[in-house]
């Protein structure tokens, strides 16, 4: 029973990104990956409706992306900016761009990427 619990813990650890994202390799997305125009409209609407306030110093939303050895995205963790709806929209943009377009690493690997935030 204890061994099974330890195995589960061992499997869960890679699902959490490291606290320091700076050393993570940059996720190379295909040149065709673009932010849809609806994103800017969505962000501006969230700010206008006071559902969130974007920090003035942020020009991009950073995301940590766990890519499995099979090349599939296993998890995306946006860096919190106090606007969960925008964070999740950005995660969806990255997931769509990375789908079937990321070179498989030798082992499950965390990467970093970002999505540009429009100014409200």
The 10s digit of each residue's pLDDT in 73-102 is: 999 999 999 899 999 999 999 999 999 889
Please check whether residue 19 lies inside any domain of the structure. Answer: no
Please check whether residue 5 lies inside any domain of the structure. Answer: no
Please check whether residue 1 lies inside any domain of the structure. Answer: no
Range of 108's domain?
25-116
Please check whether residue 20 lies inside any domain of the structure. Answer: no
Please check whether residue 75 lies inside any domain of the structure. Answer: yes
| Strand boundaries in 42-108, DSSP class E | 60-67, 73-78
- pTM for the complete prediction? 0.83
Percent of the chain with pLDDT over 70: 87
d(CA 15, CA 66): 7
């Amino acid at each position: 029973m204890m061994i099974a619990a330890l195995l589960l813990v061992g499997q869960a650890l890679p699902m959490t990104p490291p606290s320091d994202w700076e050393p993570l390799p940059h996720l190379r997305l295909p040149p065709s990956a673009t932010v849809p125009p609806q994103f800017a409209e969505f962000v501006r609407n969230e700010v206008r409706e006071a559902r969130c306030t974007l920090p003035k110093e942020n020009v991009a939303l950073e995301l940590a992306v766990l890519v499995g050895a099979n090349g599939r995205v296993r998890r995306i963790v946006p860096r919190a900016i106090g606007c969960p709806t925008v964070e999740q929209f950005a995660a969806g943009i990255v997931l769509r761009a990375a789908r079937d377009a990321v070179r498989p690493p030798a082992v499950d690997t965390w990467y970093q990427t970002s999505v540009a935030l429009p100014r409200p």
